[in-house]
Amino acid sequence: MSTADARGAGEPLLSVEQLSVTFPTDDGLLHAVDDVSFRVMPSETLGIVGESGSGKTVTSMAVLGLLPGRARVSGRVMFEGRDLRALPEKDLEKIRGDRIAMVFQDALASLNPAHKVGDQIAEAVTVHRKIGKSDLEARVLELLDLVGIPNPTDRAEQYPHEYSGGMRQRAMIAMAIANDPDLLIADEPTTALDVTIQAQVLDVLERIQERTRSAIVLITHDLGVVAGVADRVMVMYAGQQVELASVDDLFYESRHPYTAGLLASLPRLDRRADKSDRLHRISGQPPSMVFRPSGCSFHPRCPDARLGGACTQSVPELREVRPGHRAACHFAEEIFQ
């Protein structure tokens, strides 16, 4: 493993090492996550980008040990000097919601419809420490206020279905930061929202981070979201990492055909287009996670693939192609020079 990545040295907060997750299915073994390794430094924001099925959610669930029983997991997840994967459930429960917290998409489904919002936020606190009733109430109101929910006293007594979509998402964030976690994992927090609300929610996340100095892992399929918020970005495809770099490097100096394809397919309002210009797309479909292509998973769709050569024969390693910038492509240097 190479030493410090783009941002300065120091102890990583979270270190995922060679994480793999497979699920047995009727048709065979499904490789959801394949040999993924990355670090999260304190107070940084790491974006994990990929389309549906790329393994990004499964990766985050694996960190917290929230995968269903039939998942087979290997690798290490080092946090505060301990391998989370090796911890008994009781110890994991202490860490979840306290040191590492998670925010899910679709807050309507992710909040218990039968409990008041205030109670659910309070639960996040009381599960981890003893606290007096009035202190608890004050804390809940404080959190609601922090995430920008108006009338917190009234809102705390309401149920999730009485909130709007954006407010629900913010309530989820409030719940997640209740104990000032060191690491906040946000899984597609903006996907179910429309653009203006998205901006508000991202804003909240940023403000929180300024206040609490927690690290954030932001999972999304939307490059635009990542561009504004992340310090470093990891791109995933078909369960594997294909690129890992600082946000600027990724956007301006991408070294993987998939990333390049993603960037190229973003509609650009700041460039003139001819009538004959068409929206760029990456041809083909993501591969089956059970029957994967030989060699590089992306080769069937890669415009630069050297068929018959390394691309079809060996899986490219995630290697450093520029200082602090890694990509998993056999021909990264050639293609982008």
Partner 1 sequence: MLNFLGRRILYTIPVVLIASFLLFVFVRATFDPTAKLRSGRADSAAVAREQERLGLDKPVVVQYTNWLGDFVRGDWGQSERTREDVFDMIRRSLWYTVQLIFWGILLSATIAIAVGVYSAVKQYSPLDYTFTGMSFVGLALPPFWFGLIAIELLAVQPVKWFDLQQPIFSFVGLHSGDSTGFNLDYLRHLALPVLTLTVQIIAGWSRFQRASMLDVLQSDYIRTARAKGVPRRQVIVKHGLRNALIPLVTVMALDIGVLFGGVIITETIFSIPGMGRLFYDSLLAGDATVLVAWTVVTAVFIVTFNLLADVLYGVLDPRVRLS
Residues that bind partner 1 (CB under 8 A): 64, 66, 89-90, 93-98, 101-102, 104, 106, 109-115, 123-124, 127-128, 159, 161-162, 172, 175
Least gap, CB of 89 to partner 1 (angstroms)? 7
Residue with Cβ nearer partner 1 (89 or 274): 89
Least gap, CB of 39 to partner 1 (angstroms)? 21
Least gap, CB of 179 to partner 1 (angstroms)? 9
Least gap, CB of 22 to partner 1 (angstroms)? 20
Residue with Cβ nearer partner 1 (103 or 233): 103
214: Cα within 13 Å, side-chain hemisphere: 26
Residue with Cβ nearer partner 1 (109 or 307): 109
Question: Which phi and psi angles does 136 have, rounded to 5°?
Answer: -60, -50
Residue with Cβ nearer partner 1 (90 or 271): 90
Q: Write the secondary structure of the chain as one string of H (helix), E (strand) and C (coil).
A: CCCCCCCCCCCCCEEEEEEEEEEEECCEEEEEEEEEEEEECCCCEEEEECCCCCCHHHHHHHHHCCCCCCCEEEEEEEECCEEHHHCCHHHHHHHECCCEEEECCCHHHHCCCCCCHHHHHHHHHHCCCCCCHHHHHHHHHHHHHHCCCCCHHHHHCCCHHHCCHHHHHHHHHHHHCCCCCCEEEEECCCCCCCHHHHHHHHHHHHHHHHHHCCEEEEEECCHHHHHHHCCEEEEEECCEEEEEEEHHHHHHCCCCHHHHHHHHCCCCCCCCCCCCCCCCCCCCCCCCCCCCCCCCCCHHHCCCCCCCCHHHHCCCCCEEEECCEEECCCCHHHHCC
Least gap, CB of 99 to partner 1 (angstroms)? 9
Least gap, CB of 118 to partner 1 (angstroms)? 13
Least gap, CB of 127 to partner 1 (angstroms)? 5
Least gap, CB of 69 to partner 1 (angstroms)? 10
Residue with Cβ nearer partner 1 (12 or 97): 97
Residue with Cβ nearer partner 1 (124 or 218): 124
Residue with Cβ nearer partner 1 (162 or 320): 162
Residue with Cβ nearer partner 1 (108 or 264): 108
